[in-house]
Amino acid sequence: MSISVSISHQIGKFALDADFSIEEPGITALFGPSGSGKTTIINIIAGLTRPRRGRVQLGDRVLFDHARSINLAIRKRRVGYVFQDARLFPHMSVHDNLYYGAKRNRLKLAASDQQDIIEMLGIHKLLHRQPNNLSGGEKQRVALGRALLANPDVLLLDEPLSALDQARKEEILPYFESLRDQRKLPILYVSHAIDEVARLADQMVVIDNGKTLANGSVFDMLGRTDLAPLAGQFDTGTVLPARVASRDPKAQVSFLDCAGQRIVVPYLGHAINTPVRLHIRARDVMIARTPPAGISANNVIPVTIIRMAGSNNDTLDISLAFGHDLDAIHTGPASDRPSIHARITSWSANRLNLGLHQKVFAVIKSVTVNGHLREQ
Ligand code: ADP
Ligand code: MG
């Protein structure tokens, strides 16, 4: 199921011009600073806001087309929406909340599929409770269940974790991950938290001040240093697929294999060989000319400088390909050697006399990669 959005809208002085399409199931992050127009875009897809011009298409169904005067009613759009605050009906039990949308739906899910969703979300024990005595995390799981039971063609999640504390976030994130990994329906996930995006998203659409700036795979987009000054909290970094190679519960560390490179991270519960995703922020990577001795950082990786660019006067963004055996001439797009990004001050780059194709060492503290790992 693909989604294509090409709309313009005006709210007071705020002009929205969004243009993107999503071809794949899985999670697409709609990322941008507060006030950039993310909620407005998903309200337009859901039919809560009618744009001035443009078109919204879901699979082969046209939801909105200004030129052809098409504007499908909300309930006919087959769109599941989870708001930032769960917005459950306070006078209905959890059970009645869950089946509210499903009841009125002609394309009902089979009872066994409904049961699977309720079990997957771990809410079967809550069915007879009232929303006002649920925790924030439980409310969000019920809201997610309500959206899924209506059997939507797309799921819209508007900062579904932002009202929760870190412990509640950790409780919900695995449900989003399993939804993503089932790959049954496309999920548009609004967020302004880069670590959530790095953990969950497959694709990423970057929004700033009502405009879609860029659109692509999360692996490519998170490495884009040019987006950092534009999109507020955009924090350039690297997302790499890795695998749990071994682990030492006594020492409380796990060893990952990332394209042949061993990377030490704080202990993970995951079994050997579990595929995980590694997120390393560019500002957490140091560069050394020689392998440092007597240092607490656990990861000292031989790398070759393949790109240097000033992000502003004070800092440099440096791309580092794994390995010292790299033929620097052949490091164009054809090279599938993994690389990581480092952001350092121009002053230290000058002090170290860094230059293109130089063989150096990337120094990464183990703790900085914690919390951004997930099963692929
Ligand atoms: P985001 O979800 O990215 O934080 P929104 O889509 O909520 O952004 O808002 C985009 C812009 O539209 C903001 O500048 C906001 O002030 C404005 N806006 C949104 N809704 C309204 C409204 N009902 N009335 C006036 N301005 C609004
Ligand atoms: Mg919003």
Q: Are residues 99 and 214 in the same domain?
A: yes
Residue 249 confidence (pLDDT): 92
Residue 370 confidence (pLDDT): 54
Q: Is 191 in the pocket of ligand 1 (CB under 6 A)?
A: no
Residue 236 confidence (pLDDT): 79
Asked if 236 and 228 touch (Cβ cutoff 8 Å), the reply is yes
- What is the C-alpha separation between 22 and 3, in angstroms, rounded? 5
Residue 334 confidence (pLDDT): 41
Q: Are residues 14 and 125 in the same domain?
A: yes
Total number of domains constituting the chain = 2
Task: Enter the pTM of the model.
Answer: 0.81
Q: Is 35 in the pocket of ligand 1 (CB under 6 A)?
A: yes
Q: Are residues 262 and 307 in the same domain?
A: yes
Residue 336 confidence (pLDDT): 67
- Would you tell me the crossing angle of helices 136-149 and 111-120 to the nearest 10 degrees? 160
Pocket test for ligand 1, best of 7, 9, 11, 208 (most atoms within 8 A of CB): 11
CATH code: domain of residue 277: 2.40.50.100
- Burial (0-12, 13-18, 19+ Cβ within 10 Å), 32: buried
Q: Are residues 224 and 85 in the same domain?
A: yes
Domain containing 22 equals 3-234
Q: Are residues 210 and 245 in the same domain?
A: no
Residue 190 confidence (pLDDT): 96
Tens-digit pLDDT profile for residues 101-132: 777 776 788 888 899 899 888 899 999 999 99
Q: Whose CA is nearest to atom 15 of ligand 1?
A: 35
Give which of 366, 367, 321, 359 is closest to 340, Cα–Cα.
321
Considering 188, 209, 234, which residue would you say is the last residue of a domain? 234
Q: Which residues of the chain have pLDDT under 70?
A: 106, 225, 228-234, 311-312, 327-336, 370-376
Q: Is 302 in the pocket of ligand 1 (CB under 6 A)?
A: no
Residue 269 confidence (pLDDT): 81
Q: Are residues 169 and 74 in the same domain?
A: yes
Q: Is 33 in the pocket of ligand 1 (CB under 6 A)?
A: no
User: 322 Cβ partners below 8 Å, 6+ apart?
Assistant: 258, 259, 260, 261, 301, 302, 303, 337, 338, 339, 340
- Compute CA distances 158 → 38, 283, 290, 308, whole Å: 8, 28, 46, 36
